[in-house]
Copies of this chain bind each other. A is one copy, B any other.
Amino acid sequence: MTLEKIESPSVLVDLNIVENNIKAYQAYCNKMQVSLRPHIKTHKIPELAKAQVKAGAVGITCQKISEAEAIISEGGISDILITFNILGEKKLNRLRLLSEKVKLSVVADNFQCLEGLSSAFKDAKSQLTVLVECDTGASRCGVISPNSACNLAKKIETLPGLIFGGIMTYPPISQSEKINSFLLNTKNLIEEQGIRVPIISFGGSPNMWEIEKIPVGNEYRIGTYIYNDRSLMNRGNCSEDNCALSVLATVISTPEAHRAVIDAGSKILTSDLFGLKGYGYIIGYPKLVISSLSEEHGCIIGEECTGLKIGQKIRIIPNHACVVSNMMDEVIFLRGKNFIKRQPVLGRGKVW
């Protein structure tokens, strides 16, 4: 089957590029001497998670329990970190069930969360590893001071069923000195209490090639590198040739020479802009702008003539790959222009 025969809109994933991306970033992490723990939220596909582990990743990162449940459904994954505060009886029960299937660790940034985890794991066969989440400037979850982190570490050590695993941050973009000093101070404070800090986990795509700026870290979490996207192209983190995921769309209308409309809108490309102009990069048409999206229409603007024809198929590198792969029940695996198979996105929509 050629590209022309694939229904549009579809999400295409080139496995040749995927494999190169996995290999290249694993090699970089090896060179930097940090463990790589890929975030599977980007692809939500067991087969790709297994490929990441096979290439050398120490395990995977998930954001939600249901995502982890989906990703282990085919076997082959034995080590998962869930980087989310888990609260509530139902979720805690599911977390414990999950812990019986894989080596599991989670993060927490508050006492209430720790107490819930302990009550669920106090009579479990093995202890749950808990990392303390630190806010090093991203203003999302995480304790805001090394002292608070140290207090949580001490608490973890006293609570039945839990074991302190280290510290974790989702770092802001480009504040490496602040991040490193926060993490180093936290590590020192905790070690002064006689508690080991095995893992110092950081990550993120924007600064993916600047790992040396956070020397205290020893584990890197990152999702997008497996596919890459326009936002990372724009930062110079990758080139067009490194982008494995694209959206196949068809031109359905050319109402004026400088305007065209495609059959892909916000229900596939999403509204994520990430500060960019337009909703994606059209391969082969660098000057065209996807200027607006309705739910199922995308509007393309050219300076004079778009050069696009009704019925023509185009491929778009989206601004943000991680949200696009979450829109479709399946993606199309390719190698170059060769169709390989339809691939269910088993973790799609798993937000619990």
Contacts and interface: CB of A to CB of B under 8 A. Distances in A.
Interface of A: 7-9, 41, 63-64, 84-85, 87-88, 90-91, 109-110, 112-113, 135, 139-144, 250, 252-256, 259, 261, 263-264, 266-268, 270-273, 294-297, 299, 310-311, 322-323, 326-329, 349, 351-352
Contacts of A144: 255-256
Given A294-B140, A311-B87, A253 B326 contact: no
Contacts of A259: 139
A326 B295 CA distance: 10
Given A255-B144, A266-B272, A139 B295 contact: no
Contacts of A142: 253, 255
A351 B259 CA distance: 22
Given A141-B253, A252-B84, A256-B144, A267 B326 contact: yes
Given A84-B263, A141-B297, A266-B323, A135 B255 contact: yes
A182 to B, nearest CB: 14
Contacts of A310: 87, 110, 112-113
16 contacts: A7-B91, A9-B351, A41-B295, A84-B252, A87-B252, A87-B311, A109-B253, A113-B253, A140-B299, A142-B253, A263-B351, A266-B272, A266-B323, A270-B270, A271-B272, A328-B351
Contacts of A135: 255
Contacts of A110: 253-254, 310
Instruction: Count identical subunits in the complex.
Output: 2
A229 to B, nearest CB: 13
Q: Is the interface of A mostly helix, strand, loop or mixed?
A: loop
A329 B328 CA distance: 11
B256 A7 contact: no
Given A7-B91, A90-B7, A113-B310, A296 B351 contact: yes
Contact of A270 (B113, B271, B328): B271
A146 to B, nearest CB: 14
B323 A295 contact: yes
A63 B295 contact: yes
Contacts of A256: 144
Query: A-B pairs with the 10 shortest C-beta distances?
Result: A271-B271, A85-B252, A63-B296, A141-B253, A112-B310, A271-B272, A141-B261, A7-B352, A9-B351, A109-B253
Nearest to A9: B351
Contacts of A8: 88, 352
Given A268-B351, A322-B295, A250 B88 contact: yes
